[in-house]
Chains A and B, each alone.
Chain A
């Protein structure tokens, strides 16, 4: 790990000023950043510790019905918040399907958005990686790439964003609140992460020094509480990143879908909202045929970026399956194995 200056600001303004200097990085729990610093993939000259900034660790109900989640709320605390989990069961399930209990106790909501790809070439400073070191090339292309992107990738980068949490959030129209040198602003989560194009090193739309202070789920997203699920396919049942994941949310009235949300994870450099699929579902009755049609629409533009053609069919099946799960309803209790297709509970809603 490189040597760095450690700075603990006492206000957001002080943090933003300190982090606007070249080479500075924000430190929250550090569960991803310290790991990357140990491998040498990240070498910040200054760490600005934001864990003590006042007011960033609250889950607040807003007057307009929105819910606001401070960037320093820990993943486990959000998943365990009873009101939040009742309103957004698939968000809680996505959180609990990620990492391990120890990591969820430390990792923050803001850090979850800001985490980097788990592409092995990004993490290894000896490998060529346009995302880590612009212009060096991409060793993932033509390399070990069976877990890489099938949507939105470019000839410069085929990495995926690893977050589970972001997948339901993008489906539910989450907004990201940001503080910067020029004051506060907000962007839709769907516009927050960038596709690689020719500049994969620019992972988000944040300007230098800009800090994610909160996430907000709009009041309208509450319409989906009863019928939403997150489903995650991975190479072992627990403590693994998604090969492919999907979140579906349905607003069903009198047997008709009034509104639908569908997003995919593990398939692109950002959580992937499938709007064409959503449009197909509106006005339909829930059922396997229309769900499979929606799943096909969601993957219509998918292309393998290497040895990962299997992920396209896997994503289709995951999407139609999660729509079935959502139509069956959010479970009464968090499944023992969150977001898993496996489970030993008799009659569990995991089986559709």
Chain B
């Protein structure tokens, strides 16, 4: 197991450098520079002041030199200083916003699992029933619906028409003055829509996947064996089939990380949540190279962590993978 893990981690390292190299090249080769943005905002900026800024940020150096410099700083987890007027280290900004994004995504992942696994398993054990058919319909719609549109509709219904939930933000303005129960409700009411809606997209995919995995397992010989042993259908499904069907599903969760962090850009924008997605969006809009590069790196890191998680859970459940070539 240990040697398998080490092997997997070793293959992830070049992948990580590949991703950062492509991000770096793409961002820096794109025309337009942050200095132009600064100059647009301040027309009085002289050519000489511009030049000073360029050399201050190292924008006049060739690309490979800048990447090398970035890598060296990255080794000490230093992503440089943001281009924005507050000049704060990128790492500090990420550290403030990342937990919020992670909490929301973790909650929605949990919700996805809690809902998708039972309905997928149920509909696979009752194939072509009314329930199964409505799940198929739900999956088709879930794949086609733009979740940000659903978020708008939910806001119109629950926040504007019914006034049950706050329209945006992470906390109310009077948060500090609320009682403990009030604080909890305040947090829940701000988080409920973002979590529900970011879960929605994954829900369709995972429940279909669960259904497929379960159907696959139900065809196996050991299920026939369990049935012929005289076990009740209930026992066959919940004790024998479900456990085996769950394994591939749990591993796919690790692979859903890039989708989730991509989605958080949109959700945090709609609900005005001060997370990493929103930070990324502002960074992108102001061409804040260090910030964008820092968040892309963190995103790549989280993605690879998800991949590793998928690998590990595969290996845990399937000895053939764990033992590798040794058979």
Do these two chains really belong together in a complex? Answer: no
